[in-house]
Structure 1
Amino acid sequence: MPAQHHKTASDDKVSFGQKLAYGAGGYADNLMQNSVNQMAKPVFNMTLGVDPGLLTTALALPRLWDAIIDPFIGTASDNARTRWGRRKPFVVVGATLCGLLFALLWMVPHGWPKAGYLAHFFIVVMLFYTAYAVFTVPYGAVGIEMSPDYHERTRVVAFRTFFSGIAGISTSWMLWLSQRSVFTDALHGMHWVGLGVGLTMIVLGVMPALFVKERGQTKARKQRKVPLLPSLKESITIKSFRLILLIIVLMSIGLFMVNGLGYYINIYYVFGGDMRAASAIQGVTGTVYQVSGMLALPLITMASSRFGKRRTLFVCLFLPLVGTIAKWFCYTPSYPYLQVVPPLLMSPGLACLWTLLGSMLADVTDVDELKHGVRREGTLNAIYMWASKLGTSAAVLMSGYVISFSGFKAEFGGAQTPESMLVMRALVAFLPALSIAAAIIIVKRFPIGEAEAYATRKELEHRRAMAPRSAQ
């Protein structure tokens, strides 16, 4: 426990309404980030027969492009000077385009050649993730700016995590919704489900722009504009920032490379090829995962306030470590619902990870200002998102070839070979464990605790107070 516990000043607190609006954007952000990946394989591979390796390549390349343009979007946002602020125009445009393009993605008929499906998928997904970069980088910067307080930052990010969890429940049931008897197949179902999800992206995505006040606009207008390359070089010199980037890359690769394998194990190992039955339990386990993480958020914020972010995250990461290993034992045809156990363990720990990493990133922006004299929340969040998307892109790219390597054949239906299912089960259980173990070691070495964060803020406030005198 820190020697001195700090209480959040009233001026540093963010109103419930603004937290709510920011959290609504987190719902949209989660849909944008995960819905395409969630439904790509069931629709384009399992239903339309597109090769899984080619499909995941067509999915990974836009994510890689998305990662490449993030720093440009972040710098453009930091240097923007509009009557609506630095972030809001990007958020509105990005959310609107994402909603429209997501609905368009599934609007293909049966009867096309597989190359046509692949080309349509690649072009629309490339445009979609370009729009997503325009939305998510400035949106993340808005959250960083909402409070300068070490603890209030965690509470703000907790709202985002909470609403992201609700969105996660929605995506967990997308396959189930597309399988209803009113639809002929998953493609027909996604014609309509895609429209609803796209509209939700637009409505909730613009909420932060409409109702969250951008903090520090006066200072931002006066500070010098920083070109992209110098800004990137200065940012990467901060040790605490490099450690955060390493954690996010490791976790993205470890989790997302095998995340889609759960579908295949459920459908072809647990349920013998019955997609409709598997979709129901997929929805149940996804709901359990998200609800358990959401319920853990009050405990996470209280523990962080009492023990600090670093110690809280270090302890919490042991939960997903145990949970992912438990998958080896819990995916079984004899007891299908036993697979609700791993998400009960994993979700609280991962909710802690995503919440506290976002809050730690806000603390890094203070260290950056102390060292370099500028506020660049957009650039730092862009690099953070770049690292996340780079890891996710690599994971998604490898995941399709992992499926092919395992020996899975869509034409075999429920008669997949035992060897292919064994490979999938081993990867889904043990590969994430390696990434989580590495992240635990890195968190232990993170240099910013509560005392260091408040000392940095005190020095920044002293400098700002002295700046007008120096100018006289």
Structure 2
Amino acid sequence: MSTTAKHTVPFGQKVAFGLGMLANQMFPAVLGIFMVVLVQNLGFPGWMWGVIYFFPRIFDSFTDPIMGFISDNTKSKWGRRRQYVMAGAIIMGVAFVAMWQLYKTDPATGELVSLNYNFTYFMIWSFVFYLGLTIFSVPYVAMGYEMSDDFHERTNIMATAQWIGQWAWVIAPWFWVIMYDNGPDGWFPDAETATRTLALWVGIILMFVAMMPAIFIKSESTLEKDYSPMTLKNIGGSFNEIILGFKEALKIKPFRKLCISTFFIFNAFNTVATFTFFIIVYHLFNGDADAANAGFWPTLFGSLGAISTTFIVIPIVAWLSRKIGKKQAFILSQGISIIGYVMLWFLLVPGKPYLFIFALPFFSFGIGSLFTLMMSMTSDVIDLDELNTGKRREGIFGAIYWWMVKFGFAIAGGLSGVILSIVGFQEGIPGTDQPEAITGLRIFFSGLPIAGTLIAMWVMRDYDVTEEKALEVRAAIDRKKMAKGSSSAYMPGKLLALKEGLLLNGVVGLDFAGKSTGEIRALFTEKLNSHLHGLCFSPYVEGQAAGDILSKEQIRRRMEIIMPHTEWIRSFSCTEGNELIPRIAHEKGLKTMVGAWISADKARNEAEINALVRLAKEGLVDIAAVGNEVLLRNELSEQEIIGYIERVKAQLPEGIPVGYVDAYYQFLERPELVNACDILPINCYPFWEGADSSHALLFLQQMYTLAAEAGRGKKVIVAETGWPSAGQSVEAAQPSAENAMKYFINAQDWAKANGIEMFYFSSFDESWKVVHEGEVGTRWGLWDKHEQPKFASQNVKTN
């Protein structure tokens, strides 16, 4: 499916986001290069290296979720993200400059600076730097998740950002050349001076580059949003919500898979990435840095790997994602990277350093594809969370994802120091004098990333957020927003007045005050056993979804369950096995309201209408319904629907009334549609209007009255009404088993007392609707998904 112009993000904004990625990657890339100076020139032992890597990153990983909560709940005219991106950029830049002002000898006195002083100084500024990184990166990543709701455009955004960001890894390795080409004819007198000076330039330039997303990516004001106030008290009390957000996010299986896979690939790679300099210098050149051309070959390794990622990997991965899907692109890319790691074992040959260049394009598929795909896939998962919870939480998901990355990065840094100690590597000793240590480093260098990649591929083997599912979820979110806006905004002078006036005067229907749950259940069972007018038939069993082919056996089994309780059955489609529903219903002596599913798919519409006409001519249709909520879904125009109605009426035998089903308010200002229908089948859901259960019947009465007035004497049928037993609330409407029973009892009493024909929604719970309406969409049945009564007592009738 192509990306429409509606969903296309301006290229300038993609570039601005990409410049943020450049800063986000350049700071740690240069940091990794400069870290060599701590061991090679300032004499930090392996344990100090490990501690410096570990604790600031642990701090960073634990501040991320807090920053995610703050960013998600910020009320500001600048939105939720931009101001933090700007502040974080400034803190990062200043701290980066300061942290590298290290001296081996005091420039004022000429005395040696103690190792402990340099260690403590660097550690303190590291904490400040990583605080700035958190303030910048968490809202920055969330900003990227918000830029588009299109499946493929998200990959395009991340591919553009990763392409720009990859230049960090092209540029950063060349600092090795500058740092170690020193002396009278070099760039600087020594590596420490080079590091101090380069840090100044890098920190200031990247600070301004990191500001670009805050300057050029605009955000909507959140001043009117219902967020928690950002007071110190609320932030301090937010830990429970943060922990809850963690638990909720990690309950989502696809998101867990993304986090776990990233953890193993990224952090296995980073554990051994710092060994590149030591392996090239000590294995290929026996520890002679001069022979290694002052860091030229380590620089070439990093730079060519990054160039491969930039010009080969990212374009190929973006193309693969569109052609075979994100999961398969991920599996294939990681498989190619394993080939590269194996090749590095054989192509790191002393005296022939150029051979490793042949492995770099393969090797680069591992990290090069990781974030291009994973950040795009995380956006898809955030949609799934929004559908299920009604909340849009890019900040907390971004924080959790990057927490996994950074926590693992901290472990990787500490583990690097441990490995150096385990293998017994010693700086300054030729490689031939410590062959076991060099072999050990090489085993870890190839073996650990291979192991991490294999684990990640196994974890992702059954990742199930496909393009089709992602598009369904996005469409469902849009429909929910549209539906919510339609019913509440359509009649501000009528139903809104009803809420504010009549509903406050008392309970309508049976007063359940003082009745126990057992008494309510008994009343419910009595109504269920007293022959309802009609039930909406739910044919799909667990594991099926709309579009699957229904079997005669499953329809017959479910029909036999509900047959003792209803006189009519309503179906929604005439194809894919649904045509069996009216046939089996008539065999059982039930009458049928048979629906043809009408949508924007014109070819399917033809098949549906032809099938409806055939069923009617066979005497299996008592009422014909041409379409259901097509106007609500905004799929066809009123005139197109009228055209379908007229076609069906012209072909049906006499005596079969024809109507179109939609939300009651769709008929109020559509006289042509009303005239085209023989009857008006209306859908009435007080729940979706946000009605309290004790006032829901008054909503239903008013909906019916308004439709009857619009019908000008035509029969009005309640084609759908019901109440869910679980899921998310809508304003005052609370889903629960007790409220579902209360509404059922009152609705049935009202319909029978007034001679109103009503089809209750629905017969069985439908798990497949979770992707369209969240959990609440799956819990409208009188029987559960296992075909067991949900509310009725043991006295429920059976066939």
Could you state the TM-score of these two structures normalised by the residue count of structure 2?
0.57
Q: Do 1:251 and 1:436's aligned partners in 2 also have CA atoms closer than 8 Å? A: yes
The aligned residue for residue 254 of structure 2 is 240
2:448 counterpart of 1:453: no
Q: Deviations over 1:225-279 (max 9, x none)?
A: 4832332222121111110110111113311111111111111121122335251
Alignment of 1:47-446 (within 5 A): 47-110=41-104, 111-180=112-181, 181-214=186-219, 217=220, 221-225=224-228, 227-276=241-290, 277=293, 279-296=295-312, 297-412=314-429, 416-446=433-463
Please report how far the alpha carbon of residue 468 of structure 1 lies from its aligned counterpart in structure 2 after TM superposition.
2.2
Structure 2: distance between partners of 1:404 and 1:218: 53
Shifted more, 138-147 versus 312-321: the winner is: 312-321
CA distance in 2, matches of 1:220, 1:323: 51
Q: CA deviation at 1:376?
A: 0.7
Asked if residue 19 in structure 1 is aligned to residue 14 in structure 2, the reply is: yes
Opposite residue 101 of structure 1, the aligned amino acid is A
Decide whether the 8 Å contact of 2:61 with 2:407 is kept in 1: yes
Aligned length: 464
Q: Name the CA distance, whole Å, in 1 between partners of 2:398 and 2:329.
A: 22
Question: Corresponding residue for 1:32?
Answer: 27
Deviations 1:421-445 (A, max 9, x none): 1100111011110111111122221
8 A Cα contact 1:175 1:279, kept in partner? yes
Separation in structure 1 between the aligned mates of residue 350 and residue 285 of structure 2, nearest angstrom: 7
The structure showing larger relative contact order (alpha-carbon pairs under 8 Å, at least 6 residues apart) is 1
**Alpha-carbon deviation of 1:219?**
7.7
Q: Secondary structure at the match of 1:86?
A: coil
2:337–2:366 CA contact under 8 A, matched in 1: yes
Q: What amino acid is the match of 1:429?
A: S
Secondary structure (helix, strand or coil) at the match of 1:438 reads helix
Q: Cα offset for 1:298? A: 2.3
Separation of aligned partners in 2, 1:251 and 1:414 = 29
Q: CA deviation at 1:414?
A: 5.6
CA–CA distance in structure 1, aligned partners of residues 218 and 135 of structure 2: 19
CA contact (8 A) 2:76 2:223 kept: no
> Matched residues in 2 for 1:56 and 1:164: separation?
27
Q: How many Å apart are 1:63 and its aligned residue?
A: 0.4
For the 8 Å contact 1:177–1:193, the answer to whether it is kept is no
Distance 2:433 2:14 in 1: 48
Bigger helix fraction? 1
CA distance in 2, matches of 1:447, 1:220: 37
Q: Give CA-to-partner distance per residue, 1:165-213, whole Å, 9 cap, x none.
A: 1011121112112123131221111111111211222111000011112
From 460, 465, 472, the counterpart of 2:482: 465
Contact 1:292 1:344 (C-alpha < 8 Å) held by counterparts: yes
Tell me, in whole angstroms, the C-alpha distance in 1 between the residues paired with 2:360 and 2:73. 41
Structure with the greater alpha carbon radius of gyration: 2
Query: Residues 221 and 391 from structure 1, CA distance in 2 versus in 1: closer, same or farther, beyond 3 angstroms?
Result: farther
Please tell me the residue identity of whatever aligns with 1:284.
L
Mapped partners of 1:280, 1:218: distance in 2 = 50
SS at match of 2:103: coil
Question: What is the CA distance between 1:21 and its match in structure 2?
Answer: 0.6
Maintained 8 Å contact 1:22/1:143: yes
Shift of 1:311: 1.4
Kindly indicate whether the alpha-carbon contact (under 8 Å) linking 1:271 and 1:278 is maintained by their aligned counterparts in 2.
no
Report the CA distance shift for 1:170/1:293 in structure 2 as closer, same or farther (over 3 A): same
Q: CA deviation digits over 1:314-333, x for unaligned, max 9?
A: 11111111111222112221
Q: Percent of pairs identical after alignment?
A: 28
CA distance in 1, matches of 2:215, 2:399: 22
RMSD, aligned CA? 1.7
Q: 1: distance between equivalents of 2:114 and 2:406?
A: 30
Inter-partner Cα distance in structure 2 for 1:107 and 1:99? 13
Question: What are the ranges of 5 or more consecutive residues in structure 2 without an aligned counterpart?
Answer: 105-111, 229-237, 489-495, 497-799
For 1:60, give the aligned amino acid.
F
TM-score by length of 1: 0.95
Q: Is the 1:168–1:290 contact (alpha carbons within 8 Å) kept by the matching residues of 2? A: yes
Matches of 1:238 and 1:279, distance apart in 2: 46
2:166 alignment partner, SS class? helix
Name whichever of 398-407 and 143-152 sits farther off. 398-407
- In the TM superposition, residue 38 of structure 1 has moved relative to its aligned partner by 2.6
CA distance in 1, matches of 2:474, 2:356: 45
Code of the residue aligned with 2:307 in structure 1: it is V
Distance in 1 separating the partners of 2:176 and 2:97: 15
